Amino acid sequence: MNIQVSGKQISLSDALKERVSSHLNLIAGRYFENMLDADVTFSKARSFFTCDINVHAGQGLTLRGEGEAGDANGAFDDAAEHIARRLRRYRRRVHTLSRQSGRRNRPETARSYVLRQNEHPAESESLPEGDSPGPYATIIAEQQTDMPLLSVSDAVMRMDLADRQLLVFRNSASRQVNVIYRRDDGNIGWVDPSPG
């Protein structure tokens, strides 16, 4: 597994990097047959350290954990515990997904755009055909994104493991594009355009 440990405007000791690598390899060995890579970033904000862990564990499966504490080791422990807690919740399904990752079909690709709010809506850049200029008409980023074929429960699991607020996927039951999202009240919302 490729583990990248870095610090934002702080230097990290070799002992901390070794501790992070060994702990993430332990988690990988427990839950996955083959984990691809992990990015661990430490930073310092005011009087505490933060740690952000992003793990790419297989085809379309991303895990994310954040932590903060008075020292870098404590921040890493907090972030790693967030990941471990989510993995314990979905233990069986993650094992099954890990074993099936080689046999799964490649996900569909879609385009993802980031729009910037225009101060002067009349000064908009070109948009995809059919879109009209509005207050968020300037495209500042465009990238390919995967749209996997999943059941609703698998989509909720992936959204939770990646600690995301929203996930767009193709529903394996209806073959329609669906959206799940985390509501302000903590529950999960589900948008399904299939006729009821």
**Out of 19-28, 59-68, 111-120, 186-195, least confident range:** 111-120
Contact 35, 1 (CB under 8 A): yes
Tens of pLDDT along 72-88?
999 999 999 998 888 88
pLDDT band at 165 (very low <50, low <70, confident <90, very high): very high
Q: Are strands 166-171 and 37-45 parallel, antiparallel or unpaired?
A: unpaired
Q: Which residues share a beta bridge with 63?
A: 55
Overall pTM surpassing 0.85 (yes/no): no
Tens of pLDDT along 130-146?
555 566 667 888 888 88
Q: Are strands 188-191 and 177-182 parallel, antiparallel or unpaired?
A: antiparallel
Q: Which CATH code, of 3.30.450.20, 3.20.20.140, 3.30.160.100, 3.30.2130.30, is assigned to 2-100? A: 3.30.160.100
CATH 3.30.505.50 residue ranges of the chain are 148-196
pLDDT band at 125 (very low <50, low <70, confident <90, very high): low
Measured CA to CA, the distance from residue 170 to residue 107 in angstroms comes to 9
CATH 3.30.160.100 residue ranges of the chain are 2-100
Q: Are strands 166-171 and 149-150 parallel, antiparallel or unpaired?
A: parallel
Tens of pLDDT along 38-68?
899 999 988 899 999 998 876 667 889 999 9
pLDDT at 169: 92
Q: Which CATH code, of 3.30.505.50, 3.30.420.40, 3.30.1490.100, 3.40.50.720, is assigned to 148-196? A: 3.30.505.50
